[in-house]
Chains A and B, each alone.
Chain A
Amino acid sequence: MPAPFKVDLKGRLAEASSTWRRFKRNKGAIVGLAIFLGVVFCAIFADFIAPNDPYTHDPDNALSPPSWKYPLGTDEYGRCIFSRIIYGSRISLLVGVVSVGIAAVVGVVIGLIAGYCGGIVDSVIMRIMDILLAFPGILLALLIVSVLGRNLVNCMVAVGIWNIPVYARLVRGMVLSIKETEYVLAAKALGLNDLRILFKHILPNCMAPIIVLSTLLMPGAILAAAGLSFLGLGAQPPTPEWGRMLSEGREFLATAWWIATFPGIAIFVTVMGLNLLGDGLRDALDPRLKVGRV
């Protein structure tokens, strides 16, 4: 009968507090956190913040410049750009979380299996990951969307699949070193089954880099999904998605610059905030990842 492992709550709290102290020292990270919380706030309280309904047409005020009634102007159908941006924060966060979530769940499991099993299983899995990594930039996502169909869900799946190998590689590398540690060998000697060792003893020790990687990948995922929507391959009208809104404003660039300008600023600020937050978390949680950051 294996002995129960005690959770060192005091130690964990001390560790968290020292991580927070390191994080707090980084001004950029605090700015990033503030931006991120701001976007989350907008997403949660969109119903209260948005002055107008994001879908309601107002033909009399179509293509109106910014005013008191429409703080960031209106689009060709007279819809409030500000309200659409506020509601759009929900879509962007959803896209970021779901696509990175898909990549994390699948990639982590693949990485755990490859690293723990080793041998032929590891070789086969990692060669498949190499193949996925061989597709440049957004192209794999384009291929997936072209096959699955153009909508937001497929767009999230495509961006998710694109990021799977990144998690798989990271986790595999960690498992290779963790599985040789004494506490894993002790767990094996106690007769614990492989699944329990993988998920109870190895995975928790991979969590810090996985969290850091997730925050580092999220801005890229949001950008990629916005890019796909900009091309008309992601969110479809009338969804208030920032990339889509930008695309819709393209033909009115000379006459109504606000339609394309403000959604772009929203994407830019959100992505910058997440980049700063990711950098800060990386430095505070796992400085070893610093070299690989781009």
Chain B
Amino acid sequence: MRGMVAYIIRRLLLMIPLLLGVTLIVFFSIHLIPGDPVMYMLRGRMPSREVIERMRAELGLNLPLHEQYFRYLSGLLRGDWGTSLRTRAPVLQEILSRYPNTIVLAVAAMFISVVVGVIAGIISAVKRYSLFDYLSMAGALFGVSMPSFWLGLMLILIFAVQLRLLPVSGYKSPEAIILPAITLGTGGAGVLARLTRSSMLEVLGQDYVRTARAKGLAERIVIYRHALKNALIPVLTMAGMQFGFLLGGAVIVEMIFAWPGIGRLAVMSIYAHDIPVVQGCTLFFTAIFILTNLAVDILYAYIDPRIRYR
């Protein structure tokens, strides 16, 4: 137990420089472009000199760069993530109001990925070279190769436009999540199916599985009690990483289905040159991604004790 606590503390400490590095990149992203960041943010508009000066003062652009960064960092810690140029609302408020929608979508997609991917992978490995194996692996390849934005449109075309079974977009009715979740979860299901299959096949070839079979145990017990537990360790890691990719992928899916999440907010902010919101969304998504990876690593160390002693 002490080893586990030490491992968690070490991982949490390692997270701090990583998060600082992310804030550095996000902060300096706007300073990397040549010219005045304010003029860039106001691109397409004709502001008066007073407006430009006021914005420069508000953003602290008249301060030296390192002071600007520390101001930005202390603002982040105090919950002041800047103000949206488009709505004049605080950036953090804009993000937090949409955050639950993105999480709901990502969790629903994750559920589809894990259930479909892992079950298909297990059956494929157990029934290796069967028709099911070929079909599910072909399906997995399709899932991995299919652009989510195209799959989303095709699902809309079939289930919303032609069959009129599900809504085209929106989020008010519970069934509105079905199409976006399938769109977002399909790629992950393909990845997990392939990984589960190869991991299961590797485990099924191990000596302890052969011993279990030699003892005369029923095949079901060999597969579910002996093989599956070990085969799922790399799958768990990948599933955790998938969650981060789902957050990234949600950007496009939220746009297709007009799902009011952070991804849609980020893209709409890019259209409007609302850089503070784009920076805020990127930072928020990345922090969630890092935290998710940390949670997966801790879970991984809990399942496989060799990890925490490394």
Residues of A that sit less than 8 Å from B by CB = 127-128, 130-132, 134-140, 142-148, 150, 219, 223, 226-227, 230-233, 243, 246-247, 249-250, 253-254, 257, 260-261, 263-265, 267-268, 271-272, 275-276, 290, 294
Contacts and interface: CB of A to CB of B under 8 A. Distances in A.
Contact of A232 (B248, B251, B271): B271
Contacts of B266: 139, 142
B30 A147 contact: yes
Given A136-B247, A261-B157, A264-B149, 10 more contacts: A135-B289, A137-B251, A138-B248, A142-B266, A143-B25, A146-B275, A230-B149, A253-B156, A260-B150, A265-B150
Contacts of A135: 22, 25, 282, 285-286, 289
A136 B18 contact: no
B33 interface: yes
A128 B141 contact: no
Contacts of B270: 142, 145-146, 150, 233
Interface string B263-278: 0001101110101001
B301 interface: no
A233 B281 CA distance: 17
A131 B25 contact: yes
A252 to B, nearest CB: 11
The residue among B145, B195, B198, B238 with the most chain A CB atoms within 10 A of its own CB is B145
The residue among A127, A135, A226 with the most chain B CB atoms within 10 A of its own CB is A135
A136 B22 contact: no
Interface in B207-262: 238, 244-245, 247-249, 251-252, 255-256
Contact of B247 (A137, A144, A257): A137
Contacts of A230: 147, 149, 252
A272 B245 contact: no
A144 B29 contact: yes
Given A131-B22, A136-B289, A294-B238, A147 B249 contact: no
A272 B145 contact: yes
Main secondary structure of the interface of B (DSSP, over half): helix
Contact of B33 (A130, A148, A247, A267): A148
A124 B91 CA distance: 32
A130 B142 CA distance: 30
B130 to A, nearest CB: 17
B231 to A, nearest CB: 13
A243 B255 CA distance: 14
B153 A294 contact: no
A158 B244 CA distance: 19
Nearest to A144: B29
Interface of B: 17-18, 21-22, 24-26, 29-30, 32-33, 141-142, 144-150, 153-154, 156-157, 161, 191, 194-195, 198, 238, 244-245, 247-249, 251-252, 255-256, 266-267, 269-271, 273, 275, 278-279, 281-282, 285-286, 288-290
Main secondary structure of the interface of A (DSSP, over half): helix
Contacts of B157: 253-254, 257, 260-261
27 contacts: A130-B21, A131-B21, A134-B21, A134-B286, A135-B282, A136-B286, A139-B247, A139-B286, A142-B251, A143-B26, A144-B29, A145-B270, A146-B273, A147-B29, A147-B32, A227-B147, A232-B271, A243-B147, A246-B147, A247-B149, A249-B153, A250-B256, A253-B156, A260-B157, A268-B146, A271-B146, A272-B141
A88 B147 CA distance: 16
Nearest to A28: B141
A264 B154 contact: yes
B35 to A, nearest CB: 12
Pairs of residues from A and B, 9 with the lowest C-beta to C-beta distance, nearest first: A137-B248, A264-B150, A131-B21, A272-B145, A136-B289, A136-B244, A146-B270, A136-B248, A271-B145
A135 B26 CA distance: 10
B141 A275 contact: yes
A265 B150 CA distance: 8
Given A223-B147, A233-B270, A131 B18 contact: yes
Given A246-B153, A268-B150, A253 B161 contact: yes
A254 B161 contact: yes
The residue among B142, B269, B278 with the most chain A CB atoms within 10 A of its own CB is B278
B153 A250 contact: yes
Contact of A127 (B17, B149, B271): B17
A136 B281 CA distance: 12
B149 A246 contact: yes
